[in-house]
Structures are given as C-alpha cells and as structure tokens.
C-alpha cells in the first residue's frame, strides 16, 4: 500500500480519533423528572435534544460542524406574564465552536457566539419556545419536527 494512502487515511480519521467531531454532552438533568430551574428546563428540553440530533450527523457530512458547547442564559430575574396570565422567562443560548474542550479550561468569552438561539420558557408547564424571526415556535422545530407556531400572545408581556 502506498504511503500516500496511509497518510490520507490517518488524516481522515484524526477528528474521530481525537473525538473532535462530536459536541460536548449536555449537562445531566435532575433524576426527579422535572428540572428544578428554568435554566435546567431549557437545557433538558432544548439543548439536550438538539445535541442528540447533531450527534447523528454523518462523519463525512458537508453540513457545518455542530457547536462544541452551548450555554443557557436566563435574561429575566422575575417572571413576566403573558395575556393568558402565564409566567415566562426569556433566555438566550450561546454557542462556541472552540477547540478548548477540557473541563479545566474556560472557553474565552470572545469565542462564544452570543444569542445563537433566543426564546422563552414557561417554568410552570415546561414549555420551551424559540424565536424565529418575530414568531415563536415550540423548541422541537429546531430538530425537524413540524410544529404550529405558538399563539400570538406567547412570550409577550400583557
């Protein structure tokens, strides 16, 4: 076998060998079933399923590499109330494609893409909605589910 083909095979396998082609695992959710905070709810209902979908991406795909990490930021200190009287909190999910993957090292702040996903969460009923344009949809639309848009009053102060 030619040394050229051996080198080519090694170069092609390097990302998989170094585990650079897989996103970081989502944080574990509490065992009790229902997450204890709005941030944990967004991680369980949005970030984890999105990472699960991205992990199924073929190794030699032409699609862009998925983010190596995501972080959820809850923007509101107190709940807002929509027209139906339900309380909600706004959130943003930041993404990074940085190669700093060790847990001991922090990803530099400038490596994070701020507000890659924007939405709101209803902690009382567990709904997570994402904003696409000016319209809110259930979070499952991001991993290919055909969903109706959320009601017009969703995620808007009354």
CB count within 10 Å of CB 145 equals 11
Q: What is the pLDDT of residues 19-66, one digit of tens each?
A: 444 444 433 333 346 678 999 999 999 999 999 999 998 888 888 889
Q: Dihedral of the CA atoms 103, 77, 123, 106 (nearest 10)? A: -10
Measured distance CA(114)–CA(36) in Å, rounded: 25
Q: What is the pLDDT of residues 6-21, one digit of tens each?
A: 655 656 665 554 444 4
Give the global pTM.
Answer: 0.74
Q: Which backbone phi and psi does 113 adopt, to 5 degrees?
A: -90, 110
């Amino acid at each position: 076998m030619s040394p050229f083909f051996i080198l080519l095979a090694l170069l092609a396998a390097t990302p998989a060998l170094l585990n650079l082609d897989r996103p970081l695992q989502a944080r574990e959710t509490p065992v009790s079933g229902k997450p204890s905070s709005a941030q944990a709810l967004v991680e369980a209902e949005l970030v984890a399923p999105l990472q699960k979908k991205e992990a199924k991406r073929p190794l030699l795909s032409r699609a862009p590499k998925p983010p190596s990490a995501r972080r959820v930021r809850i923007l509101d200190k107190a709940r807002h109330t929509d027209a139906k009287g339900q309380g909600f909190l706004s959130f943003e999910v930041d993404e990074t494609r940085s190669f700093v993957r060790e847990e001991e090292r922090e990803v530099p702040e400038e490596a994070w893409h701020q507000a890659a996903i924007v939405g709101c969460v209803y902690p009382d009923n567990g709904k997570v909605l994402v904003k696409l344009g000016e319209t809110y949809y259930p979070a499952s639309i991001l991993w290919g589910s055909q969903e109706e848009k959320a009601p017009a009053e969703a995620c808007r102060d009354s």
